[in-house]
A and B are shown apart, each in its own frame.
Chain A
Amino acid sequence: MQATAAGLARPRRSTLDALEAALPKIVLGPTLLCSLLFVYGFIVWTGILSFTKSRLLPNYEFVGFVQYASLFANERWWVAVKNLCVFGGLFVSVCLAVGLLLAILLDQKIRAEGILRSIYLYPMALSFIVTGTAWKWILNPGLGIERLVRQLGFPGFTFDWLVNPEMSIYTVVIAGAWQSSGFVMALFLAGLRGIDDSIIKAAQVDGATMPRIYWSIIIPSLRPVFFSAVMILAHIAIKSFDLVMALTGGGPGFSSDLPATFMYAFGFTRNQIGVGAASAMMMLGTVVAVIVPMMYSEVRRSRRG
């Protein structure tokens, strides 16, 4: 696409220029089209379904807000919502804390860094079904940790969270954090390695202690990493479905249900697509309300900096 000598092909140049100016939009086009159709379009379709009488298969008979009323009157839905807040909040915080801590520790010129890093990272490679199954056994009071510790000589030890309706959601946090904090560690490690040494050295010359340096300089400069990590963790938390199904099956009872598993059960197994669609719209609404503004502000800020 070389520009020809000036004056020789002016009409050609303007067509080419127009084409070239449009090229970015053309390249981005298919992706945007897919997003429009297959993300937003389907969201709209789900929205429409949430106002219909759909049960076994989609049915376009409109019934207003009946499905939403049914949803809000459903005790199981509110348990799922509360669980998402508890699980989401804990999962993200634990992964961030563990990931950051491990990254800082690993950054101390550790000898076996490669091996340790592989050990922390490998859980991410496993599918949630594998993770859930393995942890289900480990956390089972009669077979796993509780029994092991008792065998080691602590007969009073109990660790029955998995089967306790109050605590079952926390077991999902344990298994989920196990799976994902390695990735967060990799992100933070990369971020730490990208920090300019000269700032650190200057602070040390000024007499600051290491903890102080970490707190005031290093961690704040990892802000973009926090953003990426939160984005990815939030996405995993919202979509958490396979993990819950494999680990607790939503139980005991439905105490560890999450909106994603609720939606699946009602939409597909219980032949109540209308209610399932309503719950999906609630989930999506939360995502849009909370995450989109956060994302947009970070995107603009990152471009400026």
Chain B
Amino acid sequence: MNIVQRAFVRTLVASAAGTLLIAGSVIAGDVEVLHWWTSGGEAKSVAELKKILEAEGHTWKDFAVAGGGGENAMTVLKSRVISGKPPTAAQVKGPSIQEWGAEGVLTQLDTVSKAGNWDALLPTVVSDVMKYQGHYVAVPVNVHRVNWMWANPEVFKKSGAKIPTTWDEFAVAAEKIRKAGFIAVAHGGQPWQDATVFESVALGIGGADWYEKAFVKLDPAALGSPVMEKAFTTLRTVQKYIDKDAANRDWNLATAMVINGKAAMQFMGDWAKGEFTAAKKVPGKDYVCVPAPGTAGAFTFNIDSFIMFEQKDAEAKKAQADLATAIMEPRFQEVFNLNKGSIPARSGMDMSKFDQCAKDSAAEFQSSSKAGKLVPSWAHGMAMPSAVQGAMFDVVTQFMNSSMSPKDAAAKMAAAAKKS
């Protein structure tokens, strides 16, 4: 036998042996959770949940799939469900919960939710999203507020501008800032960021009631209305003050511009706070968090949650029930949200460890709920089915990248709502 032939035999044997190595699949009693929290702060939070469950005797099988704010994770989730082996829980939020419920693959958390008295601990707006046909199928983890504006007071002072509370004031302030040589609005030209900014603009211009009609009820009259046109016109104004390097810029790089004093303000959800904290900035001094212009008293919420899949055997069911209970417990809610920049979904918690922005957020969460100004964030998948959300993203991002007129944009938004 020559060298090649010997190698051939060897590899034949080795490959046969290799294929027989069947790595084990998920065994009973394990908790497999699909999520995309893979970074420092978020990963720490998930690790807390892992600790809690392991203390109760279960095995945590981490199943992290990052990318695209959940795009890859959703691909993997579908494949797993189709193959007949869904994970214990998966990070899914908003109306998608209803879509999954309709497929009949979710488990009902009645025992756990009654024992934990969830109905009393969650505002109706939140618990409605977590239920399918009246039964809890998902557990909320946190509450993010999306309609924040993060501002650098130094930049405002140097430009002689005042922090705006309405969109008209915004135009004035932004002009002053630009003349002083700073960038008025820090932004990243990605579809979800475009939509996040537009959402706050729309809320500020149209108010909470109109917002609900347009983005939650998908009423075509509201969507194609002059209010929507005005919102787009205002978006064009905002766009004037974004620097030209914004395309595809990551959101945290935009936040860095505010931190470094290059830009005056950013319209972003409260996860931006993590960047300020990491850069050792103090709220109130180095930066301020205020509601986006025109949205004071209103609260656009984005709630991360885990949906629970129907499990086949008793061990897995028990582990799943423990998981659901643990998520709603004060201990996890506090630790998780301290690390992530959001506030607990569970009401009545002690907020002393949280910073001022979080305390403001928690207070407004309650007050806006009472005043009927607590609205779901459509840019973050809380208000409408993903097909419609995707179509609306296309409209907003097209608008920002072309010379589309506000009138056409409003018409296209109305057309997008038909994509169900």
Contact = CB atoms under 8 A, between A and B. Distances in A.
> Is any CB of A less than 8 Å from a CB of B in the complex?
yes
Interface of A: 55-58, 75-76, 136, 140-143, 160, 162-163, 165, 245, 248-249, 251-255, 264-266, 268-272
Contact of A271 (B246, B247, B387, B402): B387
Nearest to B415: A73
Contacts of A248: 248
Q: Which of B71, B189, B245 has the most CB of A within 10 A?
A: B245
Given A58-B82, A271-B386, A253 B398 contact: yes
B103 interface: yes
Interface of B: 68, 70-71, 74-75, 78, 81-82, 96, 99-100, 102-103, 189-191, 243-248, 385-387, 389-390, 394, 397-398, 400-402, 419
Contacts of A165: 401-402
Given A56-B100, A271-B96, A271-B385, A255 B401 contact: yes
B71 A268 contact: yes
A57 B86 CA distance: 13
B96 to A, nearest CB: 7
Contact of A269 (B71, B190, B248, B419): B71
Nearest to A129: B67
Contacts of B247: 162-163, 251-252
Given A254-B397, A255-B401, A269 B103 contact: no
Contact of B245 (A75, A141, A254, A264): A141
Given A163-B244, A269-B68, A269-B71, A253 B386 contact: no
Nearest to B76: A268
Q: Is the interface of B mostly helix, strand, loop or mixed?
A: helix
B394 A268 contact: no
B169 to A, nearest CB: 29
A252 B248 contact: yes
A270 B248 contact: no
A142 B99 contact: no
Contacts of A141: 244-245
Contacts of B400: 253
A160 B100 contact: no
B103 A57 contact: yes
Contacts of B248: 136, 140, 162-163, 248-249, 251-252
Contact of B390 (A55, A143, A245, A265): A265
A142 B75 CA distance: 34
29 contacts: A55-B387, A56-B99, A56-B100, A56-B103, A57-B78, A57-B82, A76-B394, A141-B245, A142-B243, A143-B245, A160-B244, A162-B247, A163-B245, A165-B401, A165-B402, A251-B401, A252-B189, A252-B248, A253-B191, A253-B394, A253-B398, A253-B400, A254-B394, A255-B401, A266-B390, A268-B75, A269-B74, A271-B99, A271-B385
A140 B74 CA distance: 29
Contacts of A143: 245
Contacts of A255: 401
B77 to A, nearest CB: 9
Given A165-B401, A270-B389, 7 more contacts: A56-B99, A58-B82, A142-B243, A160-B244, A249-B248, A254-B394, A255-B401
Nearest to A251: B248
| In the A-B complex, the 7 residue pairs with the closest CB atoms | A163-B247, A142-B245, A253-B401, A270-B390, A268-B75, A253-B397, A269-B71
